[in-house]
Amino acid sequence: MTSELLPPGTANRRTFLRTATAALAVPTAAVLVGGGPAGTAHADTATDLPDFAPVPAASTGPALNEQGYFVGRIKGNLYWVTDSYYQAMFLSTREGVVLVDAPPTIGHNLLRAIAEVTRANGRPSKVTHLIYTHTHADHIGAANLFGKHVVRIAHSETRRLLRLDADPNRPVPNVTFDDRYDLRVGGERLQLAYHGPNHSPDNIFVYAPDHATLMVVDVLYPGWVPFKNLAVSQDIPAWVKAQDIAMEYPWTTLVGGHLGRLGVRADGDVQRQYVADLTAGVKAAMTLDPAPFFDKYGPAGNSWAIFKTYLDAVARQAADPVIAKYTGVLAAADVFTLDNAATMLESLRIDAGLLGPFGTRP
């Protein structure tokens, strides 16, 4: 087990898309883009895949072991696990393990990582408590691995949503809270807080005050641009605000739930600037002259063509300078910035009332 924070290295993974893993291990490799299960790709389709800018070295995390994971100490008895795509966090206590999230891509490697740590420190390996940061299956879809008797803790909205989903891989939590919850187990503690909807209606903040570490998922992406459509967030203004809330915590280490490395304070500052630049770019681009779009598609009565081509042009005009600024600074700036600009455009239209040429008719 590597016990230092953020050792250098490139990410690879043994069990998930082996061919993509080989590409990730090359310093100049492009970002992974789609694909089916291992063995289903065809040579004649590979040439159709786009090329992307290299991933900056500062965006990569520690090298994975032969089982396809890395586990490391954050501080004291607080640890994290990654497969270079997803992350989980756990506390090793005198009474057992408190795990935060159970991403299915890490899956059984969570058990291996916990066993590795507890063999070394002589503490119990049994997971006694499992915290759900939010309902999404990509982050808690392996929760069923920890049995019926684990104490599952989440926000009350998480329980409501999971009852509707009825997914056996995501058992309904048996302990819930509305605003704050102070968890103390075996001499360790975590502070759980709900600051309103953001990425999802139920997403919570998990803070380890004794270790100056914050885990908040799908809000900040250390070293990378946010996932497409601004992290497919359900409330864009609240998601933007959640970044500010995260930075108000006195953390020095961030577990963001995705990708291969932990975060530091500078990562939050860079992402907030990226979002600010994207917002400013969209607002400026919304002055684009709509006349050509109405002239082209109006006579045929194709209203959706007017909207699509105009909004696509605005998103592209906003995205291009942001891509140029952040390529080489944030990984995948050229992968998701256009999608993110389009989502920001829709949020500004719908949430902020900046309707551009589709406003109140004079």
Could you list the pLDDT tens digit for every one of the 362 residues in the chain? 543 333 333 333 333 333 333 333 333 333 333 334 444 444 456 678 999 999 999 999 999 999 999 999 999 999 999 999 999 999 999 999 999 999 999 999 999 999 999 999 999 999 999 999 999 999 999 999 999 999 999 999 999 999 999 999 999 999 999 999 999 999 999 999 999 999 999 999 999 999 999 999 999 999 999 999 999 999 999 999 999 999 999 999 999 999 999 999 999 999 999 999 999 999 999 999 999 999 999 999 999 999 999 999 999 999 999 999 999 999 999 999 999 999 999 999 999 999 988 888 88
Secondary structure class of 145 (helix, strand, coil): helix
Q: Give the distance, in angstroms, between the CA of residue 224 and the centroid of all CA atoms in the same chain.
A: 10
The pLDDT value recorded for residue 44 is: 56
Place of tokens 């992402």: 271
Residue 182's beta-bridge partner residues? 191
What are the C-alpha distances in Å from 162 to residues 63, 154, 216, 232, 341?
34, 11, 19, 19, 31
Q: Give the distance, in angstroms, between the CA of residue 68 and the centroid of all CA atoms in the same chain.
A: 19
Strand segments, DSSP code E, in the chain are: 70-75, 78-82, 87-92, 97-100, 127-131, 151-155, 175-177, 180-185, 188-193, 205-208, 213-215, 253-255
Contact 116, 110 (CB under 8 A): no
